[in-house]
Structures are given as C-alpha cells and as structure tokens.
Amino acid sequence: MAIGVLDGRTVAVTAGDGEPLQLWEPAVPRQLGAPLRRYDAEALAVATVVLEGRTLAVTGGDGPMVALWDLAAREHVCEPLLGHDGAVNTVATTLLDGRPVAVTGSDDDTVRVWDLTARKQLGEPLTVHHDGVLEMAVGSADGRTVVAIAGGANLVRVWDLATREQIGPDLVFPLVVGALAMAPDGRLLAGIGPYLAALTYHR
C-alpha cells in the first residue's frame, strides 16, 4: 500500500494478493472507482510520486515489469519499464541528485534505479542478494540517499544509491527480516519476528 494526494484528498493505493491496482479514500472510507487494469501480470508492490504536477503510482509486478499510472486520469502513462528478470517484489520512490526516481527490488537478486522523467534505468543494477529482494526501504542517512535491502536470509545490506557502494558490513539478525523502513531521522527500522530493531549509520 502507498499513500498519495489526489485532487486535495489523501488516497491509498493498494496492490498485491492477486488484486488489481485500486484507489481508496481512507477518510470516508470508500473505494474510488473501478480497479486499474491493463496487463495480465499481477501488481505486487506500489509506491506513489508527484511528477510534472501529476500524482503517479509506480507498480512492480510478476511480469516482470515496472509500470507507471496517472491516478487522476486512471490510465497507464507509458509502456512498462523492462530490465528485471524476476518478479518485482518491492518499489520505493525518492529523489536522487534532484531527480525523481523509482527503486525496485526483484527475485533476480538485483535492485534497479529508474529515472521517472526520462523513463529509463539509471546505471547498472545493484546485485545485492542471492536469495531475492523481498523487503526494501529508501531514505536519507548522514546526507546520503540510501537503500536498505532484505532477502530470504536473516541479513540486511545498506547501499549508497549515488555511489552504488555498500555501506558497512552485512547486518545479520537472529530471525528473518519481515519489514524495513527508514525513519525521518535517518535510522533504519527492521522488523524481525516480534521485535523491532533501530540502527543508525555514520560516515
């Protein structure tokens, strides 16, 4: 699920569990219109971004593909962004060098960065795991734009998106990491079983 603003209203965008992309107005609450469909591939992950004044949804699917949707027009913006060789399990959006980008993680063990204005991949993919990318979080830490990635094992790796270099050693946990988030203060939050770990990165 992702949150965005559409026509001055806060909306939720949901995907996954075999369902198409769907918009909701949580304040009411109610479903907004019919589901958004175009491709047979299931949307597994979704994020939102404001691009050129439009609120877009960026979805990852089992095609594998990355798709962009104009939520106001309820239509697909362009042809799918192709590059992954496995299902795209997780999607995030951020700014990188002032450009709006999408960051996607896949079963093909890679994370890819997409320039949403130019509609193309930026640089080479990050080969980050040998068991797929299942959870991911993007944010700022110590002045850098970073991505934290978890696969099927009990470890997390953190990368600098600008330099494409891993930050610090692998973080090994006693249980499988089921969720990741970046706090506004730069801390990495990891859900491990019934526990929550908070970590801080420095140069």
Domain boundaries, the chain: 2-199
User: pLDDT tens digits for 95-105?
Assistant: 999 999 999 99
Whether the model clears a pTM of 0.85, i.e. scores above it, the answer is: yes
Say if residues 160 and 167 touch (Cβ distance below 8 Å).
yes
Alpha carbon distance 11, 50 (integer Å): 13
Token reading at 86: 């496995």
> How many angstroms separate the most distant Cα atoms in the chain?
48
Angle ∠(184,140,114) on CA atoms, nearest 5: 125
Alpha carbon distance 46, 104 (integer Å): 10
| Selected residue with higher pLDDT from 203 and 93 | 93
Across 68-92, average pLDDT: 91
Architecture of domain 2-199: 7 Propeller (2.130)
Task: Report the pLDDT value the prediction gives residue 3, as an integer from 0 to 100.
Answer: 93
Alpha carbon distance 80, 69 (integer Å): 10
How far CA 100 is from CA of 119, 166, 190, in Å, comes to 11, 22, 25
Mean of per-residue pLDDT scores for the chain? 88
Measure CA 57 to chain center: 11
Give the SS3 label for residue 184.
coil
Closest C-alpha to 11, from 75, 93, 22: 22
Alpha carbon distance 172, 190 (integer Å): 11
Query: Which H helix or E strand runs over 60?
Result: strand 54-61
Alpha carbon distance 71, 75 (integer Å): 7
Closest C-alpha to 136, from 115, 114, 158: 158
Q: Please provide the DSSP assignment of 121-160 as one string.
A: E-SSPEE--SS---EEEEEEETTEEEEEEE-SSSEEEEEE
At residue 178, what is the residue type?
A: G
Give 110's strand partners: 127
pLDDT of 40 strictly over 60 = no
pLDDT of 137 strictly over 90 = yes
Across 5-18, average pLDDT: 86
> Count of residues for the chain?
203
